[in-house]
Amino acid sequence: MGLFFILTLYILLLAAIFKKQKKIFLFCTFSLFFALSALRSVNIGNDTSDYKLLFENLKFMPVENFTWRFETGYLYFNKFIQIFFENSQSLFVISAFIVCLGYAMLINKFSKIVWLSVYLFFTLRYFDLSMNILRQSLAMVILFLGFYILIKEKNILYFIILVFLASLFHNTAIVFLVVAILKKIKNEKRYIAFLSLITLVGLFSFNTIFSFVLRFFPTYSYYLNSSYMDGNTRVATILNILVNLVILLFVYICKFEKNKVNNLMFHMLMFGISITVISLRFSLLDRVSDFFTVYSIILIPNALSFTKQTKNIKLFLIYIILICFFIYYLVIIIYRPDWNRVYPYEFFWNSQ
């Protein structure tokens, strides 16, 4: 609990000190995030021990032995690291650097209130996720670059290449290709109606759709008949749906001045919510929604920055955000610490 309070105060304190020096603020905050992620033990993050074991096994076995379970890009990423370092901790150090740099650059490029984006990165638990779902986090960082290319450079070919590259770290990243279509949406009412229809079809025809997907991604066949498909609704999934709906409602209420970046992120958030709702049938699918909902750490500050509300109302809304997401995170680590298994935190030298 102490670490959680320290990190929260650290972010807010640096926000006050470096309010107009966003690059210094990003460096200071993400340096700490990097240190905690890079130096974590195998007991931090539900999948960390599996990634360490894979790294060790790849020293003596060929990549082909593991392609049934792990993506080729991620396997060769491990092999590349082993050219320079033998210790498995190097995997987490290098991955932490890439992930933290990726998030820092995304926030620096697109957020209008940088300190609030960093606060949301932490309290919406994306930092925790980065220490748990390593392959997907690396894929997300590649997609951040793809998002930038699509928005700023308007180069659809490079965007597609980057999405395919991300899919070599996590197969589900291929879904991000839909962003090129979301970018062209002009009629919001039709989009909402179509998305609602897709969500209903996904809910009631999931088994048929999943069987079709397995033809292309047989890697995920081991999830068949697992606890992820037992039909029981997870508390985490419902909570994710509610939180993202609240974010969507908040952004809508702000009546912010829209632009191409904010519009796209708003449409992506709705698409992510749709996936989360469908994940009621297959709980692991809610991870796929993170590819889209993660942009809420940019959308919320931007909505506040561009809103036509008065200065006092803006300030009030910021306080509401700070308090609500602080409570949200606190409740999770008290009652559901096993979701990402980050607390109690432990350095790698304490587990040896």
pLDDT tens-place string over residues 303-345: 998 877 778 888 898 999 999 999 999 989 888 877 778 888 9
Residue 222: pLDDT above 60?
Answer: no
What is the pTM (predicted TM-score) of this model?
0.92
- pLDDT score at 275: 92
Residue 225: pLDDT above 80?
Answer: no
Q: Give the pLDDT band of residue 236 (cuts 50, 70, 90).
A: confident
pLDDT tens by residue, 159-200:
999 999 999 999 999 999 999 999 998 888 899 999 999 999
- pLDDT score at 352: 60
> Per residue, what are the HEC states of 45-74?
CCCHHHHHHHHHHCCCCCHHHHCCCCCHHH
Percent of the chain with pLDDT over 70: 92
- pLDDT score at 226: 52
Task: Give the whole-angstrom CA distance, residue 232 versus residue 282.
Answer: 9
Residue 231: pLDDT above 50?
Answer: no
Q: Is the dihedral of CA 22, 11, 289, 344 positive or negative?
A: positive
- pLDDT score at 61: 92
- pLDDT score at 252: 83
The pLDDT of 206-212, averaged and rounded, is 74
The pLDDT mean for the chain works out to 89
pLDDT tens by residue, 20-76:
899 999 999 999 999 999 999 999 988 899 999 999 999 999 999 998 889 999 999
Q: Are the CB atoms for 146 and 163 separated by under 8 Å?
A: yes
The 3-state DSSP class for residue 256 equals: strand
- pLDDT score at 10: 96
